[in-house]
A = this chain, B = another copy of it.
């Protein structure tokens, strides 16, 4: 992507609230990774494991944490939070593009739908009866907006998004391609060997500043609503079951699945591929490692994990065989303890 303008290093320091070391007049043409940066680029240390790349980098200037103040003598900006500063610099170089308002002649808008000012509606979108689309909303090709859907101002919907009837989305949402909002929850009752579908009559309520990843799905509630609070960030291919409630500013990495009626607190982070069972409660500020399974409610903030360690296949096979019989192993240990008549201390 082409940048729109250049900045002096000192201008960037002011922008991010950092301290300039070295030539503040250096003209910076862009921001780039350590590996790709040239002498006109600003770069930064995103991950401590990249420290070795620092020396070989061609970057003309650097964005560093106070701890790395002297890691280089190039022109540099010292910032308390280089990652946040990096975010601000990227924004400065690549400001959001102004979109072109207008409804494409190949879009179908129900006469009773209401579009705000400056709405951009791409071809092959349909907007249902009584839907309300806020000002400056941009909707890309192939989106389906059901009846009575409301979308707040300044939202962006990428291609082929489907929003079922009655879903409510706040302001400034970014919804990536293929996402589905408001599909039926998975509710049914056994009737003999058959399943009887339970009509899902709840809705989906999404707050402000929410981002929803590509092909992520959020089911509507069974009776009450599924709720995603302000500032929640969902990566791609996440599945949110009916009546889930996600507290503000929580962030889930890709491929997470949350079963129905689970309530997750504020500022939680869930690692990619994790599964959270239904009807649980997770308090604020809980961090779940990737690929973990939450089977019980979590009442205390903190970091949790449950990943099976990867090993060479043959080693894994031996360990897994023992794991299949761990209870027996514990019994053998208990027997030895009773034989010897001693025990370190109560461990269970």
Report the separation of the CA atoms of residues A187 and B332 in the bound assembly, to the nearest whole angstrom. 47
Q: Are A142 and B160 within 8 A (Cβ)? A: yes
Residues in A86-125 with C-beta less than 8 Å from chain B: 86-88, 90-91, 93-94, 96, 104, 106, 108, 122-124
Report the separation of the CA atoms of residues A260 and B136 in the bound assembly, to the nearest whole angstrom. 31
Report the separation of the CA atoms of residues A186 and B211 in the bound assembly, to the nearest whole angstrom. 9
Q: Which chain B residue lies CB-closest to A316?
A: B305
Q: Which chain B residue lies CB-closest to A306?
A: B310
Q: Does A52 contact B (CB under 8 A)?
A: no
Q: Are B291 and A275 within 8 A (Cβ)? A: yes
Q: Shortest CB–CB separation between residue A244 and chain B, in angstroms?
A: 11
Q: Does A299 contact B (CB under 8 A)?
A: no
Residues of chain B lying within 8 A (CB to CB) of residue A320: 307-309
Number of copies: 3
Q: Shortest CB–CB separation between residue A251 and chain B, in angstroms?
A: 6
Q: Which of B164, B178, B209 is in CB contact (< 8 Å) with A162?
A: B178
Q: Are A199 and B90 within 8 A (Cβ)? A: yes
Q: Does A340 contact B (CB under 8 A)?
A: yes
Q: Shortest CB–CB separation between residue A84 and chain B, in angstroms?
A: 4
Q: Which of B81, B197, B292 is in CB contact (< 8 Å) with A310?
A: B292
Report the separation of the CA atoms of residues A304 and B309 in the bound assembly, to the nearest whole angstrom. 10
A198-B233 contact given A180-B176, A290-B277, CB 8 Å threshold: no
Q: Does A237 contact B (CB under 8 A)?
A: yes
Q: Are B162 and A142 within 8 A (Cβ)? A: yes
Q: Are B217 and A178 within 8 A (Cβ)? A: yes
Q: Shortest CB–CB separation between residue A313 and chain B, in angstroms?
A: 4
Q: Are A322 and B317 within 8 A (Cβ)? A: no
Report the separation of the CA atoms of residues A332 and B322 in the bound assembly, to the nearest whole angstrom. 13
Q: Which of B162, B217, B224 is in CB contact (< 8 Å) with A159?
A: B162
Q: Does A39 contact B (CB under 8 A)?
A: no
Q: Are A322 and B329 within 8 A (Cβ)? A: yes
A224-B35 contact given A162-B159, A180-B215, A310-B294, CB 8 Å threshold: yes
